[in-house]
Amino acid sequence: MKNYKPKNRLNSQAYIDGILDGDRVILSRAITIIESNLESDKLLAKEIVQSILPKSGKSIRIGITGVPGVGKSTFIEVFGLHLIKQGHKVAILSIDPTSQRSKGSILGDKTRMEQLAVLQDAYIRPSASGDTLGGVSNKTGETMLLCEAAGYDVILIETVGVGQSETAVHGMTDFFLLLMLAGAGDELQGIKKGIMEMADMVVINKADGDNIKMSELARVQYQNALHIFPMSESGWSPVVTTASALKNIGISNVWDEILKFKTLVKDNGYFFKNRNHQQIKWMYNNINDELKQLFYGSKSIKSQLSILEKDIIASKISPVKAAQQILKTFKNSF
Amino acid sequence: MKNYKPKNRLNSQAYIDGILDGDRVILSRAITIIESNLESDKLLAKEIVQSILPKSGKSIRIGITGVPGVGKSTFIEVFGLHLIKQGHKVAILSIDPTSQRSKGSILGDKTRMEQLAVLQDAYIRPSASGDTLGGVSNKTGETMLLCEAAGYDVILIETVGVGQSETAVHGMTDFFLLLMLAGAGDELQGIKKGIMEMADMVVINKADGDNIKMSELARVQYQNALHIFPMSESGWSPVVTTASALKNIGISNVWDEILKFKTLVKDNGYFFKNRNHQQIKWMYNNINDELKQLFYGSKSIKSQLSILEKDIIASKISPVKAAQQILKTFKNSF
């Protein structure tokens, strides 16, 4: 299966030229290659990414998260339309770690954003993340680079605020936006510990009609809660606002805050410092993932581990000694 | 140097017997062996830990953190005296990751706790953590097991709330206590993001005299802030109280809350579930540390990495490709 080579593939230069020309069909086909697990595609993907690399990076990368029901699709549609009106080209990548793509995804179908989907300046793509956090970083990360090379200058990476993918998305974006609802209770919204404190901005969505008062209350509460945390390295204090995507209220304000953020971090040097840091970290994450794969992928290691786990719980062996023992097995296996 | 064998070492059985007898001098000498980097001591340490393992575990393990100035020493002294009055034997292990032991430590000198230090039922020991987080887990973790085997039924692990050691301490304790001050501003207190949400209890210390009103206000603020987070797996809602270690106010209340916690988590099964999970995780942390050591400890890998970092920042190579390239070098090196 893995050695099967699809017949409809172009040569790498055709993809590269197409992407740099902003050809959406070629872009889509190139992303399919990035997402493919076929060995021949992996080689092709590497060539493509390597060549477009110098043309990537010229966008603002925005992570958007929030649990299902918070109104993410509507928000992104209205926000995207606003950006396009201002002359931007917007790429929207959706990651849904809760379900594999083939099994149907709760995010990622174009029909969710009907107005945006028909525009030339919008590119919407569900991102197949695979099963691992590393998968999110690699596949979505490389897809992002391709979109940038194709001329999209605002990248929105959308994810569901329930899994681990937020950390990966936070690690590849410049600005992290958290959508919430007033009065739903944080437990109900399922926001994981730690996501809140990654946010550069919290938007209380659906702040319209009877909900305005409660949303304003929630805004104050979240603003106070965020002040408990020390200032982040960017020098930016997280902002909490209310908005209604449905009624198109407060949407331009979100973009204004992002522009303020961009000015601040470009002036104080954090923007590129953070980008460089993210790139380097991306390499180290890959190295560490592959090292673990080399170790934990071994069948004999796996079976020895399950025995050691039982022995540890039974106080037969100390965790430190168990680790030393299995590392010896690993070294001798080469 | 590493092959030097100290002449004053006993045989392993002498240490084991001494520890199980509760002999404090032998316990101290055994901990010195745990902390030693000499190869002969490492072997001895392994034998000792392995033998006392079945006798360990019968304590409540409490992590205590807070930045310098919060009154940790006074709190621990008064808290320790309270516990001893109730018939407990208390071991206090101090980790100071901010300075190496030889260079002088801001924690860990016995003179800080004069009343406690003279009592038979208190055992105070600065814990040499070395330079790594893994060092904290291993050396302090094994020291803790020795203290338990020597009959100490309350273990207090003290650390400064500014570094990464909190995560390690949280990973080896049953209950995590955070000391804070009212009105000092969280930025000034230097509490790192994430420490707050590990806390099972926050104690606003120095709540006496003119400070009572402000402390009560801080208590309410922190209690509200903690409610933003969802309930943790233990089923315990973090408690915020005020106390004054200096005036001995609110100290017994802290212990009462810990007992409530203990009852809750022993009843709902979390206590042992968490302990088992911690033990297993301890092994995996060791494995992952040693795997990384195997890789990053190599000189040729190191020099290749620094070249790749530069190439990534210059957009000459993608992070994913860089990782694959260096992994190939690693595999070929065996």
* Chain center to CA of B18: 25
Q: Report the 3 state secondary structure along B1-57.
A: CCCCCCCCCCCHHHHHHHHHCCCHHHHHHHHHHHHCCCHHHHHHHHHHHHHHHHHCC
Across the interface, which of B49, B229, B334 has its CB nearest the CB of A318? B49
Three-point CA angle A305, A309, A310, nearest 5°: 125
Alpha carbon distance A213, A204 (integer Å): 12
Of A193-197, B15-19, B124-128, the poorest mean pLDDT is in A193-197
Per-residue pLDDT tens digits of chain A, which is 334 residues long: 455 677 789 999 999 999 999 999 999 999 999 988 888 998 999 999 999 999 999 999 999 998 778 899 999 999 999 999 999 999 999 886 654 433 444 454 546 788 998 899 999 998 765 555 566 678 899 999 999 999 999 999 998 766 668 888 999 999 999 999 887 655 445 566 578 888 999 999 999 999 999 999 989 988 887 877 777 899 999 999 999 999 999 999 999 999 999 999 999 999 999 999 999 999 998 898 889 889 999 888 999 999 999 999 998 999 989 999 999 998 888 7
* CB contact at 8 A, B124 and B92: yes
Alpha carbon distance A92, A31 (integer Å): 13
Q: Give, in order, the Cα–Cα distances in Å from A7 to each of A4, A25, A41, B119.
A: 9, 17, 11, 81
Of A222-231, B126-135, B212-221, the poorest mean pLDDT is in B126-135
pLDDT of residue B186: 56
Domain at B56-267, CATH homologous superfamily: P-loop containing nucleotide triphosphate hydrolases (3.40.50.300)
Q: Give, in order, the Cα–Cα distances in Å from B48 to each of A6, A270, B17, B136.
A: 60, 50, 10, 19
Q: Is A68 on the interface with B (CB under 8 A)?
A: no
Alpha carbon distance A313, B279 (integer Å): 7
Task: Kindly give the residue spans of alpha helices, DSSP state H, lying in chain B.
Answer: 12-20, 24-35, 39-52, 72-85, 114-117, 133-135, 141-149, 165-170, 186-189, 212-227, 251-267, 270-296, 299-313, 319-332
Alpha carbon distance B181, B66 (integer Å): 9
CB < 8 Å from A in window 219-248 of B: 221-222, 224-225, 227-231
Surface-to-core class of residue A185, CB atoms within 10 Å of its CB (0-12 exposed, 13-18 middle, 19+ buried): exposed
Alpha carbon distance A322, B261 (integer Å): 31
Chain A partners of B187 at a C-beta cutoff of 8 Å?
230-231
Which amino acid is residue A303, in one-letter code? S
3-state class (DSSP) for residue B107 = coil
Both structure tokens of B89: 């034997």
Q: Which residues contact A87 (CB under 8 A, 6 or more apart)?
A: none
Q: Is A14 on the interface with B (CB under 8 A)?
A: no
Total Cβ atoms within 10 A of residue A142: 26
CA distance B82 to chain A (A): 32
Residue A15 φ then ψ, to 5°: -65, -45
- Rounded to the nearest integer, the mean pLDDT of chain B is 87
Q: Is A288 on the interface with B (CB under 8 A)?
A: yes
Strand partners, B203: B179, B241
- Do the Cβ atoms of B279 and A196 come within 8 Å? no
Alpha carbon distance B8, B302 (integer Å): 39
Both structure tokens of A159: 């994810």
Q: Which residue of A has its CA nearest to B274?
A: A313
Total Cβ atoms within 10 A of residue A4: 10
3-state class (DSSP) for residue B72 = helix
Mean pLDDT of B108-136: 74
Across the interface, which of A282, A290, A319 has its CB nearest the CB of B283? A319
Strand partners, B91: B123, B155
* CB contact at 8 A, B251 and B82: yes
Alpha carbon distance A300, A286 (integer Å): 24
Q: Report the 3 state secondary structure along chain A.
A: CCCCCCCCCCCHHHHHHHHHCCCHHHHHHHHHHHHCCCHHHHHHHHHHHHHHHHHCCCCEEEEEEECCCCCHHHHHHHHHHHHHHCCCCEEEEEECCCCCHHHCCCCCCHHHHHHHHCCCCEEEEEECCCCCHHHHHHHHHHHHHHHHHCCCCEEEEEEECCCCHHHHHHCCCCEEEEEEECCCCHHHHCCCCCCHHHCCEEEEECCCHHHHHHHHHHHHHHHHHHHCCCCCCCCCCCEEEECECCCCECHHHHHHHHHHHHHHHHHCCHHHHHHHHHHHHHHHHHHHHHHHHHHHCCHHHHHHHHHHHHHHHCCCCCHHHHHHHHHHHHHHCC
Instruction: Provide the CB-side half-sphere exposure for B149 (13 A, CA).
Output: 27
pLDDT of residue A79: 98
Across the interface, which of B142, B229, B327 has its CB nearest the CB of A287? B327
**What percentage of chain B reaches a pLDDT higher than 90?**
63
Chain A partners of B230 at a C-beta cutoff of 8 Å?
186-187, 190-193
Could you identify the residue written with the tokens 């205590």? Answer: B64
CB < 8 Å from A in window 75-114 of B: none
Q: Put residue B237 in one of left, alpha, beta given phi > 0 → left and psi -120 to 50 → alpha.
A: beta
Per residue in B48-72, pLDDT tens?
999 999 999 999 999 999 877 889 9
* CB contact at 8 A, B330 and A295: no
Q: How confident is the model at residue B130 (pLDDT cuts 50, 70, 90)?
A: low
List Cβ<8 Å contacts ≥24 apart for B215-223: B215/B182, B215/B242, B216/B242, B217/B182, B218/B180, B218/B181, B218/B182, B218/B183, B218/B242, B219/B182, B221/A224, B221/A228, B222/A228, B222/B180
CB < 8 Å from B in window 157-196 of A: 186-187, 190-194, 196
CA distance B68 to chain A (A): 17
The highest-confidence range among A167-171, A188-192, B84-88, B187-191, by mean pLDDT, is B84-88
Three-point CA angle A329, A333, B2, nearest 5°: 55
3-state class (DSSP) for residue B209 = helix
Q: Is the pLDDT of residue B334 over 80?
A: no
Query: Residue B61: which H helix or E strand, with range?
Result: strand B60-66
* CB contact at 8 A, B271 and B265: yes
Q: Which residues contact A315 (CB under 8 A, 6 or more apart)?
A: B53, B54, B56, B57
Could you identify the residue written with the tokens 């790749």? Answer: B308
Strand partners, B290: none
CATH of A1-54, one of 3.60.90, 1.10.287, 1.10.3470, 1.20.5: 1.20.5
Chain A partners of B291 at a C-beta cutoff of 8 Å?
291-292, 295, 327, 330
Alpha carbon distance B179, B240 (integer Å): 10
Mean pLDDT of B136-159: 93
Which amino acid is residue A263, in one-letter code? T
Q: Is the pLDDT of residue B280 over 60?
A: yes
Q: Is the pLDDT of residue B20 over 80?
A: yes
* Chain center to CA of A14: 28
Chain A partners of B67 at a C-beta cutoff of 8 Å?
none
Chain B partners of A284 at a C-beta cutoff of 8 Å?
323
CA distance A118 to chain B (A): 32
pLDDT of residue B101: 38
Q: Is A34 on the interface with B (CB under 8 A)?
A: no
Q: Which residue of A has its CA nearest to B47?
A: A321
- Do the Cβ atoms of A313 and B279 come within 8 Å? yes
Alpha carbon distance A220, A129 (integer Å): 36
Pairwise pLDDT comparison (B157 vs A224), residue with the higher score: B157
Q: How confident is the model at residue B12 (pLDDT cuts 50, 70, 90)?
A: very high
Alpha carbon distance B60, B114 (integer Å): 24
Q: Is B145 on the interface with A (CB under 8 A)?
A: yes
Mean pLDDT of B197-224: 91
* Domain edges within chain A: 1-54, 56-267, 284-332
